[in-house]
Amino acid sequence: MVDDALSSPGQAGVRRITELTELFAWLACVAFTVQLVLLGSGLVRIPLALLVVGVLASWWVRPDGDPWWTTGVEAVAAFGAVLVLPSAEPAIGFLFAVVVRRALRGDAVLLPVKSVPVLLGYLTGVGTWVVLEPVEATGPLLASTLLPLVGLTIVSLALHEIVRSARRLEAAHRTVEAVIRASPVGLVLLDGDGAPTLHNDRARRLFDWPEGRSGRVPCPHGPDITACGRGCRGADDPVEVDVERPDGTTAVLAVQAVPVDHVPDRHTLVTALDVSKRRQWEDALRTRVERDELTGLAGRTHFLHLVDDALRSGEAVGLLVIDLDGFKEVNDAEGHEAGDWYLVSAAERIGRAVGPVATAARLGGDEFAVLAPGHDVRESARLATRVLSELARPLTGLGHDTVIRASVGISVSQPGLGTADLLRDADTAMYVAKREGGARIRLFRPEMGERVLARQRDKADLRTAVADGQLVLHYQPIVDLATGRATGAETLVRWQRPGHGLLGPGEFIGLAEETGLIVPLGNKVLAGACEQAMRWREQGRALGVTVNVSTRQLSAPAFLPSLDRVLKTSGLPPERLTVEVTESVWADEAAMRGLMDVRETGVRVALDDFGTGYSSLSYLQRYPFDVVKIDKSFTGNLDDAGRTAGVVRCIVDLAEVLGAHTVAEGIETQEQADWLRAAGCDYAQGYLFGRPDLAENWDAQPSVTG
């Protein structure tokens, strides 16, 4: 298709002129040779005829060449022909033949150089003839001799330029042809009816046209881009067209149709580029933006756009925020791969529960959301119930039965409520459901927002308290029941909150756990306690300190290096420090491993509130403790004949078997102390021996001297 289109009528005409000129040159030279032999005078005519035959032979042997020696032969033949022939016309014919033929084959520089010898030979022959013959050099004679030469020169140069122009045009056509053939872009020239008049192979392959045939160029709105009424022809940007392949695949082409104004009949130039790969990349990128990579649910950004669109519709919009309860424990205990599987399972169940009536999304971490257009409060609550029911079905993929528990908050659109407001209200309701124990649904109410704001203020104030030194350490004596002397002190933290007075740990430790501030808070308490123990030691008091450490602190990888740094900085011997934990530590493997690492450093380990939580003899046997603390719920009801007294005796005996000391908490009367001493309990603490107080006030308490 490209070859046919680039073969112009002008090139065909030049070829015909070249062929006719070649024929004329051969005929003229053959006639010239015959005239020399038959009409020439003297024997020299034969050598001259042979010279002309030599010129013809060179043409035959080298049809495209022009040897230099032929210029001399031509000059001699022209010179001699004027002298031996009865007239100059045959010589002029010979001149025309060789010069015109050379004009078709020589280049711009060599044409005049190679043509001069034969012309000079002819003119020299004419001059010699005039001298030898008694002929008067009249004007007509000179005109008849020179004018043909002038005409020959002009015609030869003109013909030469025509041929050179034709060759340049042909070279340009070939260059264009090569470019079009090699172009990675499909090129098609359409006529006024939309039929291709020119196209390259790339276009044929892109549009899947059969070999030797062409079809129409489609656009997104129809089978013929030139007939599109939506402006595809002449558009500033390409349009994308899907083209079905015989193998069932679909290629995406970027097609642009440009009107060709200087070509008659409303021609159109079409470019086509395969953008299938780009479309795949764009689709993949769009999927990554719109979909959560792990679960396949809608991603946060895309989900918020969907909420925007739903709110603009004007109908009621229900929004559910779902937070999985206890996911951190699953992730820590089972590993991140199990945690990911847990999230995927939850996502599948949420998606199944909401079905096609709503859109589920993962907002991040273990937090999900559901957009329910057209759902009022009642319908949103029913949807939330279905979600919790679906999540509650037993999950067996972790090697044991697990139930996914979740807290769900619901908010329903109101006039003037934006996406951020709707999401904030649902999140607030979810937070309330989680604080109430989880595994429940709560609908947002305005007063919830006030409580949450207050909670946020508490968090901000606690963060400031940790940073600005508002935390105060009090110490309660731990007394040796056998001697009545204090051997140590339990460190208890208080918050001197501006405007609220001195707050006990029960009012802020839960908040610290929730916000993660328990780690920096615990580090400050640990450092302060060790420094105080060293001050007592410098004063001659052999008092150890006990510090409560949370499970979250112990499970943090940085806890052990932090503890080591505190001991080295303060100089306190490790055996003078006791780390106190509750039985909940047994439910956290990471914390339990951390606790055993702490014990390896020489720091003592105490089990607080024994018997009130996850008590297990197997745990006590596997994980040794240095101290077992008897909770005040037991010591407050001591009676020789009572069941409580029997339990306390069992705890004391068990601790002795395990090689641990016992500390009884909450001792308020001398009778309790005497009973415990008789039962074999080692140590005790409580109001009988001293209330928690600042270290500088200990001197006023005679019972706590070291």
430, 522, 578, 611, 681 from 631: Cα distances, Å: 35, 22, 17, 8, 13
pLDDT, residue 407, reads: 95
Q: How confident is the model at residue 676 (pLDDT cuts 50, 70, 90)?
A: very high
- Other C-beta atoms lying within 10 Å of the C-beta of residue 572: 21
Task: Evaluate whether 376 touches 408 at the Cβ level (below 8 Å).
Answer: no
Indicate the DSSP class of residue 436: T
Q: Is the pTM of this model over 0.85?
A: no
Query: Rounded to an integer, what distance in angstroms lies between the CA atom of residue 43 and that of residue 129?
Result: 17
Average pLDDT value for residue range 71-80: 80
Closest CA to 160 of 10, 8, 21: 21
Indicate the DSSP class of residue 298: B
52, 76, 627, 678 from 609: Cα distances, Å: 131, 134, 11, 21
Query: Rounded to an integer, what distance in angstroms lies between the CA atom of residue 526 and that of residue 520?
Result: 10
What the block records as the tokens of 32 is 């010239």
Give the tens place of pLDDT for each residue, 379-422.
999 999 999 999 999 887 666 677 889 999 999 999 888 999 99
pLDDT, residue 483, reads: 92
Q: How confident is the model at residue 3 (pLDDT cuts 50, 70, 90)?
A: very low
Max avg pLDDT among 2-16, 195-209, 361-375, 615-629? 361-375
Say which residues have a Cβ less than 8 Å from residue 292's Cβ, sequence separation at least 6. Answer: 298, 299, 300, 347, 361, 362
Instruction: Using the predicted structure, report yes or no on whether residue 374 has a pLDDT greater than 90.
Output: yes
Helix axes of 518-538 and 559-570: crossing angle, nearest 10 degrees: 20
Give the tens place of pLDDT for each residue, 446-472.
888 777 777 778 888 888 888 888 999
Alpha helices in 108-218 (DSSP H): 110-132, 139-182, 201-206
- Other C-beta atoms lying within 10 Å of the C-beta of residue 468: 8
Q: Which H, E and C letters describe 80-96, residue by residue?
A: HHHHHCCCCHHHHHHHH
Query: Rounded to an integer, what distance in angstroms lies between the CA atom of residue 259 and that of residue 261?
Result: 6
Long-range contacts of 424-428 (CB under 8 A, 24+ apart): 425/319, 425/449, 426/319, 426/320, 426/321, 426/369, 427/321, 428/452
CA dihedral 145, 149, 150, 155 (to 10 degrees): 140
Closest CA to 546 of 504, 484, 492, 602: 492
Query: Rounded to an integer, what distance in angstroms lies between the CA atom of residue 593 and that of residue 573?
Result: 22
pLDDT, residue 624, reads: 78
Q: E-assigned strands of 279-358?
A: 317-325
Closest CA to 545 of 473, 606, 625, 489: 489
Backbone angles phi, psi at 376, to 5 degrees: -90, -170
Query: Rounded to an integer, what distance in angstroms lies between the CA atom of residue 556 and that of residue 427?
Result: 28
Closest CA to 148 of 104, 108, 97: 97
Q: Is 424 exposed, middle or buried (0-12, 13-18, 19+ CB in 10 A)?
A: middle
pLDDT, residue 703, reads: 44
Side-chain-facing half-sphere of 490: CA atoms under 13 Å: 26
The one-letter amino acid code at 358 reads A
Instruction: Using the predicted structure, report yes or no on whether residue 274 has a pLDDT greater than 90.
Output: no
What the block records as the tokens of 22 is 């070649």
Instruction: Using the predicted structure, report yes or no on whether residue 143 has a pLDDT greater than 80.
Output: no
Instruction: Using the predicted structure, report yes or no on whether residue 347 has a pLDDT greater than 90.
Output: yes
The one-letter amino acid code at 539 reads Q
Give the tens place of pLDDT for each residue, 152-198.
565 555 556 666 666 666 666 677 667 777 777 888 888 888 888 88
pLDDT, residue 705, reads: 42
Task: Evaluate whether 298 touches 351 at the Cβ level (below 8 Å).
Answer: no
3-state DSSP assignment of residue 65: coil
pLDDT, residue 313, reads: 87
Query: Rounded to an integer, what distance in angstroms lies between the CA atom of residue 644 and that of residue 676?
Result: 12
32-41, 633-642, 685-694: segment of lowest average pLDDT:
633-642
Instruction: Using the predicted structure, report yes or no on whether residue 263 has a pLDDT greater than 70.
Output: no
Backbone angles phi, psi at 684, to 5 degrees: -150, 160
Share the mean pLDDT of the chain: 82
Handedness of CA 323, 327, 331, 334 (dihedral sign): negative
pLDDT, residue 663, reads: 95
With pLDDT > 90 as the criterion, what percentage of the chain qualifies? Answer: 31
Task: Evaluate whether 699 touches 535 at the Cβ level (below 8 Å).
Answer: no
Q: E-assigned strands of 312-355?
A: 317-325
Average pLDDT value for residue range 113-122: 73
What the block records as the tokens of 312 is 């603009």
Query: Rounded to an integer, what distance in angstroms lies between the CA atom of residue 3 and that of residue 16?
Result: 19
